[in-house]
Structure 1
């Protein structure tokens, strides 16, 4: 059994195979998933429900290509709020739909945020919203060597 840090739930080998299969195709039918892992469909459904209840599976989503809908530029912004502006910067990031990911981090910067925009001018507008309240360092993504993936499903010692 594998112990999960946050929810005190356990994953066995079958659960990990279910999670991996769902990561590949979240729309897979329970019957097909059951065949893949050697269980009945009701057993698979119960395991999925248990993992949802434990917070292991937090949702199901689509994989959208931003460039295919005209958002040709992806950028990562490292953001350091000016003194007293941390909450204001967090609000701007949360309210700006072009920012699709944001983490509060340790180190010199407080936030690392990912944005998708149509043009360099649109990126400039995003930066201008922030520079009244923070300093920024922006990196434009040239390419991604691999797609987003699951963290390793390994024993926690």
Structure 2
């Protein structure tokens, strides 16, 4: 399903998901209808799941980014997993292996909001917080195999 041309289309979409079929076609060497047909097939097959907006959180007043790990107390992991989606500050949350059970990327307005979030999280387990200073690598593009 994902041949060389589809990989090229996917890479162009990752650069700009709003690019027109004709723009993508010029870059990958296909006609506009051919690009549209390939994208539709990739959507139907679940290769393309959605198109998203990339928001500048800093410009919306959310200046503080952090990574928080959680080592759940015995019997508290399930309760946390049922609740985590209600925290508006959580951008991403992953269940992981190792000493901690959870790693989250969060965005907050300031340290006061970070403290409030941590106060909520410590009812589920031991937390460790790392403030993000800067982004070193942008979202890595997919690479064909």
Q: TM-score scaled by structure 1?
A: 0.88
Once the two structures are superposed, what CA deviation does each residue of 1:41-99 show, in whole Å capped at 9, x if it has no partner? 11111111111122211111111111111100000001111111112111232110110
Q: 1:61 aligns with which of 47, 52, 59?
A: 52
Alpha-carbon offset, residue 113 of structure 1: 0.4
Secondary structure, aligned partner of 1:76: strand
- Give the root-mean-square deviation of aligned CA atoms: 1.1
Alpha-carbon offset, residue 128 of structure 1: 0.7
Q: Note the 1:5-154 alignment, pairs <5 A.
A: 10-151=1-142, 153-154=143-144
**Conserved in 1, the CA contact under 8 Å of 2:4 and 2:144?**
no
Secondary structure, aligned partner of 2:24: helix
Q: TM-score scaled by structure 2?
A: 0.94
Distance 2:22 2:141 in 1: 23
- In the alignment of these two chains, the number of paired residues is 145
**Conserved in 2, the CA contact under 8 Å of 1:21 and 1:33?**
yes
Alpha-carbon offset, residue 117 of structure 1: 0.3
Unaligned residue ranges in structure 2 (runs of 5+) = none
Unaligned residue ranges in structure 1 (runs of 5+) = 1-9
**Conserved in 2, the CA contact under 8 Å of 1:77 and 1:137?**
yes
Once the two structures are superposed, what CA deviation does each residue of 1:91-134 show, in whole Å capped at 9, x if it has no partner? 23211011010111111111110100011110011111110111
**Conserved in 2, the CA contact under 8 Å of 1:89 and 1:134?**
no
Deviates more, 1:35-44 or 1:123-132: 35-44
